[in-house]
Amino acid sequence: MQAYDFPIRRTLFLHPSIDPPLRRLLELHSAISHVLHLSGASEYINMILRNMEDGVVREDGSTQLGAMVNVALRIST
């Protein structure tokens, strides 16, 4: 997994055949991201994604198998 510097800024270009993103949805996405970051949930999510990349079940029981299976099932469907 790559480490990113946040916030990431993107320049969106208008095109006649593609509707621009709704400002309200971008604001909602930003608010959810802030809540996840401030609550520490982002660290938990990153840990699960790292464990999935490793593909290893740890002996100490720290691997979140249920979460890994849920993520894998959602990605594959």
Amino acid at 29: H
What pLDDT score was predicted for residue 72?
73
Query: Does any domain span residue 47?
Result: yes
User: Is residue 9 in a domain?
Assistant: no
Q: Round to whole Å and give the CA distance between 21 and 24.
A: 9
Is 72 inside any structural domain?
A: yes
36-71 pLDDT per residue, tens = 889 988 888 787 777 777 777 767 766 777 777 777
The number of distinct structural domains making up the chain is: 1
Is 33 contained in some domain? no
Q: Is 22 among the domain residues?
A: no
Look up the domain containing 49 and give its range.
42-77
| Residue 1 predicted with pLDDT over 60 | no
pLDDT mean over 23-34 = 92
Residue 46 lies in a domain: yes
Q: With H, G, I as helix, E, B as strand and everything else as coil, classify residue 57.
A: coil
